[in-house]
């Protein structure tokens, strides 16, 4: 598709789509709880649809009344053996989290996905789940999908220190730990604190866990109760408009109902370090959401590393673009996990921004970006990665020399089906 270029200013208000991480978890908790769960403002993106379809294939009644999603849960034991392999599409979150649920079910299942998912390592969940007693077999030593899982009702508790900072692995182990014996307690120790939506939602559904620093204790044999869940907007989707608002001249954008759980707000800390103007309004402490107002700003480079990385991991492609417009140098390090996302995001981001004229150097665990570079038109390809597509579409807004073409733009539907409609509304 042809992208909008030469933007004169972005103005208006946007309600960003529901948080992808919370949307996945709302379906999963609804399916394993007893009773009815009603989810409002869920993200109807392709990744979440993969999760919904997987649980439907295991006999869970899930209805979309156009407004809410209604799930009739019958507990873990209500899940039935799927008749065909489960299609995970592009969704690493579905694959990894569902593995923790399937590990404790007394049936065989197979998980497969698209080309991108078929290159993503599942050994990070397979290995600890095997320790708990599940049989899991993937392709190569890294357990790439397709993944065959033979679960067991005799899962053993685990005491496990995560070798990577990953909310997906942590969540898979929490789901498995819930299915161990009533008297057992699993201990999961995080490498760095990562998004805590699984922990929050477990408590909301009437479950139990204890958190102390990076240690999470999860008792086995838990029974959960269906709930009403209201999904806040995804800060990882809002991030594209935050950056667009900062770098496109004459812009002022209000983003409504954005989730601001502190395990996710690393981008706001970076914007502050870069001296960008974002105001947080009407904070809702219960729902952990707020409105954010962003204005065009003069930015300075900064260093992004350490504990900050898991709090903005999905925002690094768009933050790299932001850094191309800041004065001085921005250094991103400790982000080697970026190489294992929907694409190798260090390689793909640097290739695209270099092709547009930016001064950006890849490193083994990040990027070094020298700012204040004008961007030029070129033809780019999402390579099937939604966040790469949205980053390129925002970069195009700064281009004014020629046509900018985006190939495989349909990937954006993974997490933000209304992305281009929202962009149109800001350009009017």
- Which residues make up the interface to ligand S3P (CB under 6 A)? 21, 93, 166-168, 171, 195, 313-314, 337
Task: Quote the CA–CA distance of 292 and 257 in Å, as a whole number.
Answer: 8
Q: What is the maximum span of the chain, computed from C-alpha positions, in angstroms?
A: 67
Report the C-alpha gap between 257 and 269 in whole angstroms.
19
User: Which of 27, 167 has the CB closer to ligand S3P?
Assistant: 167
Instruction: Report whether 170 contacts 198 (CB < 8 A).
Output: yes
**Smallest separation (angstroms) from ligand S3P to the CB of 225:** 23
Q: For ligand S3P, give the closer residue by CB, 166 or 382.
A: 166
Is 314 in the active site? yes
Instruction: Tell the smallest beta-carbon distance from residue 50 to ligand S3P (Å).
Output: 13
Containing 295, the helix (H) or strand (E) segment is strand 289-295
> What's the min distance (Å) between Cβ of 188 and ligand S3P?
13
Annotated active-site residue in 314, 334, 344, 401: 314
- Is the CB of 125 or the CB of 326 nearer to ligand S3P? 125
- Measured CA to CA, the distance from residue 128 to residue 412 in angstroms comes to 32
| Smallest separation (angstroms) from ligand S3P to the CB of 152 | 24
Question: CB 183 → ligand S3P: shortest distance, Å?
Answer: 29
Strands, DSSP E only, in 1-158? 2-3, 11-15, 34-40, 61-64, 68-74, 86-87, 108-112, 135-139, 144-150
**What gap in Å lies between CA 290 and CA 16, rounded to an integer?**
12
Contact of 46 with 90, CB cutoff 8 Å: yes
By beta-carbon proximity to ligand S3P, the closer residue of 23 and 227 is: 23
Pick 10 or 308: Cβ nearer ligand S3P: 308
Q: Using the minimum distance from each CB to ligand S3P, give the nearer residue, 36 or 191.
A: 191
Closest CA to 143 of 105, 178, 187, 99: 99
Q: What is the Cβ-side half-sphere exposure of residue 241, based on CA atoms within 13 angstroms?
A: 34
CB 106 within 8 Å of CB 152? yes
Report, in Å, the least distance between residue 403 CB and ligand S3P: 31
Which residues carry out catalysis?
314
């Amino acid at each position: 598709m042809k992208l909008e270029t030469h933007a004169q200013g972005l103005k208006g208000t946007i309600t960003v789509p529901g948080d992808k991480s919370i949307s996945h978890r709302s379906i999963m908790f609804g399916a394993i709880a007893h009773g009815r769960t009603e989810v409002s403002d869920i993200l109807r993106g392709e990744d979440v649809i993969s999760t919904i379809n997987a649980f439907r294939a295991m006999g869970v009644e899930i209805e979309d009344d156009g407004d809410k999603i209604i799930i009739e849960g019958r507990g873990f034991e209500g899940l039935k053996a799927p008749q065909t392999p489960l299609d995970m599409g592009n969704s690493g979150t579905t694959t990894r989290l569902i593995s923790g649920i399937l590990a404790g079910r007394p049936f065989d299942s197979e998980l497969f996905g698209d080309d991108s998912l078929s290159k993503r390592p599942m050994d990070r969940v397979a290995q600890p789940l095997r320790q708990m007693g599940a049989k899991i077999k993937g392709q190569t030593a890294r357990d790439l999908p397709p993944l065959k899982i033979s679960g067991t009702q005799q899962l053993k508790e685990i005491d496990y220190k995560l070798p990577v900072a990953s909310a997906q692995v942590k969540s898979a182990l929490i789901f498995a730990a819930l299915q161990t014996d009533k008297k057992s307690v699993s201990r999961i120790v995080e490498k760095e604190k990562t998004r805590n939506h699984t922990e929050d939602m477990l408590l909301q559904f009437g479950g139990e866990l204890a958190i102390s620093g990076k240690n999470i204790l999860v008792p086995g044999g838990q029974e959960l109760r269906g709930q009403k869940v209201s999904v806040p907007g995804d800060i990882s989707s809002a991030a594209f408009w935050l950056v667009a608002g900062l770098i496109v001249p004459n812009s002022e954008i209000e983003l409504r109902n954005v989730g601001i759980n502190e395990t996710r707000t690393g981008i706001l800390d970076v914007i502050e370090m870069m001296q960008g103007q974002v105001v947080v309004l009407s904070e809702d402490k219960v729902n952990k959401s707020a409105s954010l107002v962003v204005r065009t700003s003069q930015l300075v480079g900064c260093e992004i590393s350490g504990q900050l990385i898991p709090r903005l991991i999905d925002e690094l492609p768009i933050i790299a673009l932001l850094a191309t417009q800041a004065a001085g140098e921005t250094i991103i390090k400790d982000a080697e996990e970026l190489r294992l996302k929907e694409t190798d995001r260090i390689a793909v981001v640097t290739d695209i921004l270099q092709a547009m004229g930016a001064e950006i150097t890849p490193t083994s665990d990040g990027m070094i970006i020298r700012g204040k570079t004008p961007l030029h038109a070129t033809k780019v390809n999402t390579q099937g990665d939604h966040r790469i597509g949205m980053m390129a579409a925002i970069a195009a807004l700064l281009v004014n020399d020629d046509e900018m073409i985006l190939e495989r733009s349909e990937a954006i539907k993974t997490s933000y089906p209304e992305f281009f409609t929202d962009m149109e509304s800001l350009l009017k």
